[in-house]
Amino acid sequence: MRKKIVAGNWKMNMDLAEGLKFAGSIEKYFKESPSEKVLVILCPPFIHLAGMADILKHGKVALGAQNCAAEASGAYTGEVSAWMIKSTGAQYVIIGHSERRSYYHEDDKLLNKKTLLAINSGLKVIFCCGEVLKEREAAQHFLIVRRQLEEGLFSLTAEQMDMIVIAYEPVWAIGTGLTASPDQAQEMHKYIRELVKEKYGNDCAKKLPILYGGSCKPSNAAEIFSKPDVDGGLIGGAALKKEDFTAIVEAI
């Protein structure tokens, strides 16, 4: 059985006090009604990590960052390394989010470097992929996702792939209110699993969690999560409201 995962990507929201208070309320919720079958991960901005690691120390909810530097250490003003993230107590890092790819021009080669650094620092990676609207309209979506995975991820060994969760996030569905239909999500997730199977074999493909992201909300989560190759979600806007986020976890 593959692990079911719901991860909240807070993006650039909530100041320190707000974030710690919110993390406390999520932790309390899952302490009182533990979600045995679902791994819940919160991915706040860097400044929240150390404080949240303390709040989440009971292990009901895991912790991740949203990005890491492409270098291990040194004179890189403003950057935060994978090892620093690990030292806060976080276990995960999101790499290759479409907002990083488009606003900060992060390409496949750079994302591959970040992924290797993260894994070597002991962090699990939520590796994002997905096409923009123009690419889907031109029926290029499979090609794009294939390239993102081949160049960003497939230099890893099969052993290193154990540290990977893939998130398929069609860019046209992020923050737009448009969602991929459950069938569109399933079609792409199945394709991703087949690519992983071709490269790493059936065992690796079968245990790889593949999450869907893009306007996931309580009203559509159950249907999307019911698809056989959809193992959970990477949630943006709805992760900022306790009722919505917990309802999405319950939907699994």
**Footprint on this chain of ligand 13P (rule: CB under 6 A):** 9, 97, 169, 174-175, 213-216, 234-238
State the catalytic residue, choosing from 99, 106, 131, 169.
Answer: 169
Minimum CB–partner distance for residue 171 and ligand 13P (Å): 9
Query: How far is Cα 156 from Cα 216, in angstroms, rounded to an integer?
Result: 29
Query: How far is Cα 31 from Cα 17, in angstroms, rounded to an integer?
Result: 21
Minimum CB–partner distance for residue 157 and ligand 13P (Å): 27
**Closer by beta carbon to ligand 13P, 61 or else 200:** 61
Whether 169 is a known active-site residue: answer yes
State the catalytic residue, choosing from 97, 106, 141, 189.
Answer: 97
Q: Are 44 and 19 in contact (CB under 8 A)?
A: yes
**Closer by beta carbon to ligand 13P, 186 or else 215:** 215
CA end-to-end distance (rounded Å), the chain? 14
**Closer by beta carbon to ligand 13P, 169 or else 231:** 169
Minimum CB–partner distance for residue 18 and ligand 13P (Å): 18
**Closer by beta carbon to ligand 13P, 11 or else 197:** 11
Whether 105 is a known active-site residue: answer no
Secondary structure letter of residue 24 according to DSSP:
H
Query: How far is Cα 100 from Cα 97, in angstroms, rounded to an integer?
Result: 5
Minimum CB–partner distance for residue 235 and ligand 13P (Å): 5
Secondary structure letter of residue 47 according to DSSP:
G
Helix (H, G, I), strand (E, B) or coil at 42: strand
Residue nearest to ligand 13P (CB): 236
CB neighbours of residue 86 within 10 Å: 19
Query: How far is Cα 45 from Cα 170, in angstroms, rounded to an integer?
Result: 22
Which residues form the catalytic set?
97, 169
